[in-house]
Chain A
Amino acid sequence: MMKTMEASAAPAAHDPWYKYGVAVLILEMAIAVAVSAWSLYMTFHGLGGLSGKH
């Protein structure tokens, strides 16, 4: 992949909060995958499911 001059020259320095922010987003993704998988399993087996916002 090509790189922009500005972007590649800039150091990637993050504040301490950033790693906790990334941990939260990983947790949210895990919840999305788990709820989706559970919900689809229930539904495809005729057991009902998570009705979500509907």
Chain B
Amino acid sequence: MKTHKVEQLVIATTGFFWCFLMWFATAAFSPSIAANYHLSIKAMGLLASSAIWMAPVGRVAAGWASDRFGAPRTFAFVLGTCGLVSIASAYTVDYRLLFIERVIVAAAGVSFVIGIQHVAQWFKTNEIGTAEGLYAGTGNVGAGAGALLLPRIFGTDYRSAFLWLGVVALGIAVWYLVRGKAAHTAEQRDLVRARSDLRGTLFVWTRYIALALMLAYAMSFGLEIALNAWLPGYFTRGFHGAIVALGFTGVAGIQIAAGTFAAVESFTASLFRPFSGYMSDLFQRKGWTPLPFMARTLPYAPRLHWLGIAVILITMGMTGLTIAGVMGSLHLSVMVLVVLGVFISCGTGGTFALVPLLFPDRPGTASGFIGGVSTAAGIVYPLIFASGADIHMGYLAVALSMFLPFVLFYFWAARYERHPEEHGLLTQVLVIEDAA
């Protein structure tokens, strides 16, 4: 079969976009579902949180499967399964069954790491940042697009939405199977498949640099999904008076204003992500290595430095958010949030411009670990944000207690001038002769 890497990028991006559309479709129709089944606030919260349940473990499994069976088969399986269950959920009348079906459909979110692996198998090292950025950034928009468009297209008829989302998912699954190709060469595909054993998985999980990248992704994407859940409530409580002064009254009005301020962060974080991948490519091309302590002679050292800058900026952005909040300035808080969204995109794009280069023989396993485990941070941060006496201080608390140690660990793990992936726990047991 004759194909081109851009075709593979388009297939992966389309599949990922649609998976994200399905992932957040439940949330988009939660008011309609709640009204239909007379759900309590508690039950609505459970339904909303269920979207993320499958991500940590599911992404780890999906990453391994994409190495083992190839991205096209794995992606088609995810699309096909989620599509069929989505169609089934359109005809379900029992709420408990609907809840279970929507949790299964939300597993579509694991597709992120499959596409990362797929793109990594096709693009050259000097363009990997832009390619992965375009894939992830454009695909991520599916979440926002779903929330914006689905209720406008289908109104309160969530059953029709679930039906059509599933039908199109099946079509994309067939397209992926027919036109998708696992790797640029058969040798590369076979090498990755051979390395997808348990020892190879443990090898990746115990590398210091893999742990550092996982924490960097927890600081960026983990923070992004945490803020998605936290910010509407934060603005409602922290800036109630200022929002009322803008002319928004009543619960619905304040929710619109608070939701808008919050959405700006996620929108910016998604759509600036390709830019971050491009910046990683630019750092690499120019050979910029401005940070102290970190490796300078590694072939991909400039990309490590770009990510180092990103995690510092995210920590500073979180501090700025607390300062703006303590000052009581709604305008300044929103401006800092927009900038923080850009900084977060620098972290997300910068991380996955590095992963395929650090673990070229195990891109799926590494992507699954880094992109999966880090999502658990999205559950932890809101708990810290909400734990303090002052609602504005939570960002500084996270920055000092978590992000600062993460940044120091990143600098420490990225200091090796030769083969950083050889340094980790249990190296003597897990080392594979031809890993390097």
B144, B271, B296, B331: the one contacting A4 at CB < 8 Å is B296
Q: Verify B297–A53 contact, CB threshold 8 A.
A: no
Do A25 and B137 touch across chains, with their CB atoms under 8 A apart?
A: yes
User: Please, which residues of chain B bring their CB within 8 A of the CB of A46?
Assistant: 246-248
**Contact with A52, one of B133, B144, B298, B302 (Cβ below 8 angstroms):** B144
Q: Which of A10, A14, A29, A48 has the most CB of B within 10 A?
A: A29
Which listed residue, A4, A25, A40, A45, touches B302 by the CB 8 Å rule? A4
Residues of B within 8 A of A25 (CB): 130, 133-134, 137, 274-275, 277-278
A12 touches B289 (CB 8 A): no
A45 to B245: give the CA distance in the assembly, Å: 10
Interface size classification for chain B: 35 or more
A14: nearest chain-B partner, CB-CB = B127
CB closest residue in chain A, given B134: A21
Contacting residue for A53 out of B27, B246, B247, B278, CB 8 A:
B27
In angstroms, Cα B346 to Cα A29, docked, is 13
Quick check: A36 and B301 within 8 Å, CB to CB? no
Interface set, chain B 1-26, CB cutoff 8 A to A: 5-6, 24
What's the Cα separation between A51 and B146 when bound, in Å?
12
State the CA gap A15–B131 with chains docked (Å): 12
Cα A35 to Cα B271 with chains together (Å) = 11
Residue of A nearest to B259 (CB): A54
Whether B188 sits at the interface, judged by CB under 8 Å, is no
Per-residue B-contact encoding for A14-31, CB less than 8 Å = 1, 0 else: 110110011011001101
Question: How many angstroms between the C-alpha atoms of A53 and B6 in the bound complex?
Answer: 29
- Whether B264 contacts A52 by the Cβ 8 Å rule is yes
* Dominant secondary structure of chain B at its interface with chain A: helix
Instruction: For residue A17, give the distance in angstroms from its CB to the closest CB of chain B.
Output: 5
- Our pick among B130, B147, B264, B299 for the contact of A18 (Cβ within 8 Å) is B130
Asked if B284 CB lies within 8 Å of chain A CBs, one says yes
Is B388's beta carbon under 8 Å from chain A? no
Q: How far is the CA of A18 from the CA of B277 in the complex (A)?
A: 12
Q: Which residues on the B side are within 8 Å of A42 (C-beta)?
A: 260
From B124, B264, B289, B298, A2 is in contact (CB under 8 Å) with: B289
Query: B334: which of A21, A35, A40, A50 is its contact (CB, 8 Å)?
Result: A40
Given known contacts A7-B301, A22-B130, is B290 in contact with A1 (CB within 8 Å)? Answer: yes
Tell me which of B138, B146, B286 contacts A28 (CB under 8 A): B138
The yes or no answer to B262 lying at the interface (CB within 8 A) is yes
Most B Cβ at <10 Å: residue of A13, A32, A46:
A32
A22 to B248, CA, bound (A): 40
* A28-B165 Cα distance, complex, nearest whole Å: 24
A32: chain B residues at CB < 8 Å are 267-268, 270-272
B297–A44 CB distance below 8 A: no
- Once bound together, how far apart are the Cα atoms of A41 and B287, in whole Å? 40
Q: Are B299 and A53 in contact (CB under 8 A)?
A: no
Are A44 and B246 touching (Cβ within 8 A)? Answer: yes
Q: Inside 8 A of A40's CB, which chain B residues have their CB?
A: 260-261, 264, 334, 338
Minimum C-beta distance from A52 to chain B (A) = 2
Residue numbers in B under 8 Å from A49 (CB-CB): 256-257, 260
Minimum CB–CB distance for A51 against chain B, Å = 5
Cβ-based interface call for B288 (8 A): yes
Residue pair B289, A3 in contact (C-beta under 8 Å): yes
The 23 sampled A-B contact pairs (Cβ below 8 Å) are A2-B289, A3-B286, A4-B297, A5-B297, A7-B285, A13-B126, A15-B124, A21-B127, A24-B134, A24-B274, A25-B277, A29-B272, A29-B275, A32-B267, A39-B264, A43-B256, A44-B331, A46-B246, A48-B260, A52-B147, A52-B263, A53-B148, A54-B259
Name B's A-contacting residues (CB within 8 A). 5-6, 24, 27, 124, 126-127, 130-131, 133-134, 137-138, 141, 143-144, 146-148, 228, 232, 246-248, 256-264, 266-268, 270-272, 274-275, 277-278, 284-290, 296-299, 301-302, 331, 334, 338
Given contacts A15-B124, A29-B271, 17 further A-B contacts (CB under 8 A): A1-B290, A5-B297, A7-B302, A17-B5, A21-B131, A24-B134, A28-B138, A28-B274, A36-B267, A36-B268, A48-B256, A49-B256, A52-B267, A53-B143, A53-B148, A54-B259, A54-B262
Please name the 9 residue pairs, one residue from A and one from B, whose CB atoms are nearest each other, closest first: A52-B263, A46-B247, A49-B260, A32-B271, A3-B287, A7-B287, A25-B274, A54-B259, A53-B147
Q: Which residues of A contact B (CB under 8 A)?
A: 1-8, 10, 12-15, 17-18, 21-22, 24-25, 28-29, 31-32, 35-36, 39-40, 42-46, 48-54
